[in-house]
Amino acid sequence: MTIEDRNEASELRLSKHAQRLRTWEFICVTCGGHFHPAALEYSHIAPRKFHDDGGPQCRNCHAAFSDEERDLPYGPQSQNPQIESIGRYLLALSAWFSRIAETIAEFGRWLMQLADALPENAEGAVQ
Ligand SMILES: [Zn+2]
């Protein structure tokens, strides 16, 4: 296999990861970490039998989300599956937002500590 063949194979794998993750931004939507795309998974907001929306999550965050879903059904159970799906989607989205809000607060606290630790007007150096 030539170097060109390897590069082409690598680009093809990257493209397949982007297609699977539905993005070229290889960042976990929950913890904000940058990961190799092979270490990311497409996580559905609610189980896919309810809706197909989602985003990339690192395997750790996806496992934590999925673990909590194990106590709930993976598909509509009621006589009104569309209403149930919308309700389940909104509850799951609320859980996503809660986790994302925790990450935003954590990032904010980190920035505030960094602001105190850096010398005066250090932001001018970050351009
Ligand atoms: Zn993560």
| Structural contact between residues 30 and 57, judged by C-beta atoms closer than 8 angstroms | yes
**Would you list the domain boundaries of the chain?**
3-125
Residue 70 Cα, ligand 1 centroid: separation in angstroms?
Answer: 19
Is the pLDDT assigned to residue 6 strictly greater than 60?
Answer: yes
Quote the pLDDT of residue 86.
94
Residue 92 Cα, ligand 1 centroid: separation in angstroms?
Answer: 17
* pLDDT tens sequence across 7-30: 888 999 999 999 999 999 999 998
Residue 124 Cα, ligand 1 centroid: separation in angstroms?
Answer: 30
Residue 28 Cα, ligand 1 centroid: separation in angstroms?
Answer: 5
Mean pLDDT of the chain: 91
Quote the pLDDT of residue 34.
96
Residue 58 Cα, ligand 1 centroid: separation in angstroms?
Answer: 4
Is the pLDDT assigned to residue 127 strictly greater than 60?
Answer: no
| Structural contact between residues 30 and 61, judged by C-beta atoms closer than 8 angstroms | yes
Quote the pLDDT of residue 96.
87
| Structural contact between residues 71 and 92, judged by C-beta atoms closer than 8 angstroms | no
C-alpha to C-alpha distance for 63 and 107, rounded to whole angstroms:
22
Q: Is 85 helix (H, G, I), strand (E, B) or coil?
A: helix
Is the dihedral angle over the CA atoms 100, 103, 109, 114 positive or is it negative?
negative
Q: Could you count the other beta carbons within 10 Å of the beta carbon of residue 47?
A: 18
For residue 34, the 8-state DSSP code is B
* pLDDT tens sequence across 39-71: 999 999 988 899 999 999 999 999 998 888 888
Quote the pLDDT of residue 120.
85
Quote the pLDDT of residue 126.
56
Residue 78 Cα, ligand 1 centroid: separation in angstroms?
Answer: 33
Question: What share of the chain has pLDDT > 70, as a percent?
Answer: 96
